[in-house]
Amino acid sequence: MKNNPFIKIRQISLKMEFILLAIFSGCGSAIPDFDEQNAFSLLEQQCDFGPRNPGSTGYFNCRQFLIDKFSATADTVLLNQFLLTNPVSGEEYNLTNIIGRFNPEADKSLLIGAHWDTRPWADRDPDPARRNEPILGANDGASGVAVILEIARILQDQPPEWRIELVLFDGEDMGISGDMRSYARGSLAFARDLPIPKPDAAIIIDMIGDAELSIPVERFSMEQNPQLVKDLLKLARKLNLPAFESRIANAVFDDHIPLWEEAQIPAVDLIDFYYPNRYHNFWHTHQDVPANCSAKSLDQVGTLLVNYIYGIQEE
C-alpha cells in the first residue's frame, strides 16, 4: 500500500484543494484590518479626560485607562517610572512609561512608541491670555496613542510572529521652547533603564492625526535607520497611502533621538510637523482638538504599521 501511485495522486490533489481553499479564504496571507473608527474613538476617549499634562486629573484618569487597555490586550504590562521637574513651576512628578509586550519570547523584535502626556501650556496660542492653560492634545498626544491602542487590539486578536513592544512614553512635552533636550524625557528614562531586552528597531509616531496629513521623511530618522525609512516608504507606495512622501524635511527632536543616543536602538519618527499645513499651525495651541483630526489619517498610519508587522514573514 505504501507505494500505491493512486494514493499518492489522491494526497497531492487533497493538498492542492487545501492550498486553493487557503487562497480563497485569504488565510494564506491574512493581514488584519485596521479599524479607523475604533481608532478615532480611542482618540476622543483620551480627549474626554481633558488635558493629560503631568499632575492633572486628566493625566491620572488617562494613565489608568491606558494601563487597563494594555492589561486587556498585552501578554505583559510593565510600568517604567521616572522623576521629572516642571521647568516652570519647579514641581516634581513621578511619571510613567507604559509598556505592552506581545509575543515576548520571539527573537526578532520591533518597538512602536508614542507619547501619551500632553503639553502643560499652549505657548503658541494666538491668544496671549490663554497661553498658560494646558492644551487638549488631540493630535499632539492622543493620535499616536489611539493608533497604538488599536494595534494592541489587533495583536491580541492575531498574535504576531515577531516580539512587539508597544510603548506609551510620558514626559515628552514638558520642554522649554528652544531647549530641545528638555523634551522627550520619558524615552530618555526608558533608554537608560531599558526595562525590556533591546529591540532591533523602533518606530515612533507623533502628530499623525492631522486631517491634512502629510508625512515627509524626518531627517534624523534617515540617519538612524535608513533601511527602515526606505522599507516603510516602499510599503506605503504599495498600499497607496498618499500621506507618506519621499522628500526629506525637518529634523525633529522627538522620542526616537534618546532611543538611538542612549541605547543604540535604530529608531525612526513618523511625524506631520505642519498641522494643518504650511500656512497655519495648531501645534501647541487650543486648536489641537479632535475636530482638526481625522479617522482617515489615523487609518493611513495604522494600515502601514499593521501591514509592516504582519507582512514581515513575506520577506
Give residues in contact with Zn ion (CB under 5 A): 140, 173
Question: Measured from the CB of residue 83, what is the shortest distance to Zn ion in angstroms?
Answer: 21
- Mention every residue, 6+ apart, whose C-beta is less than 8 A from residue 278: none
Q: Give the dihedral of Cα atoms 155, 234, 241, 170; nearest 10 deg.
A: 50
Question: Measured from the CB of residue 173, what is the shortest distance to Zn ion in angstroms?
Answer: 4
Shorter beta-carbon distance to Zn ion: residue 36 or 125: 125
Query: What are 90's strand-pairing partners?
Result: none
In a 3-state reduction of DSSP, which class is residue 161? coil
Question: Measured from the CB of residue 255, what is the shortest distance to Zn ion in angstroms?
Answer: 11
Shorter beta-carbon distance to Zn ion: residue 173 or 255: 173
Shorter beta-carbon distance to Zn ion: residue 118 or 294: 118
Angle of CA points 146, 149, 153, to nearest 5° = 140
In this structure, are residues 269 and 19 in contact, taking their beta carbons and an 8 Å threshold?
A: no
Give the Cβ contact number of residue 262 at 10 Å.
Answer: 16
Shorter beta-carbon distance to Zn ion: residue 36 or 218: 218
In a 3-state reduction of DSSP, which class is residue 48? helix
CA distance 104 to 196: 9
Question: Measured from the CB of residue 284, what is the shortest distance to Zn ion in angstroms?
Answer: 6
Shorter beta-carbon distance to Zn ion: residue 125 or 173: 173
129 DSSP assignment: G
Question: Measured from the CB of residue 204, what is the shortest distance to Zn ion in angstroms?
Answer: 13
Shorter beta-carbon distance to Zn ion: residue 140 or 299: 140
Shorter beta-carbon distance to Zn ion: residue 183 or 244: 183
Question: Measured from the CB of residue 231, what is the shortest distance to Zn ion in angstroms?
Answer: 27
Question: Measured from the CB of residue 207, what is the shortest distance to Zn ion in angstroms?
Answer: 7
Summary count for the chain: helices (H), strands (E): 9, 10
Using alpha carbons only, how large is the chain's radius of gyration in Å? 21
In this structure, are residues 21 and 37 in contact, taking their beta carbons and an 8 Å threshold?
A: no
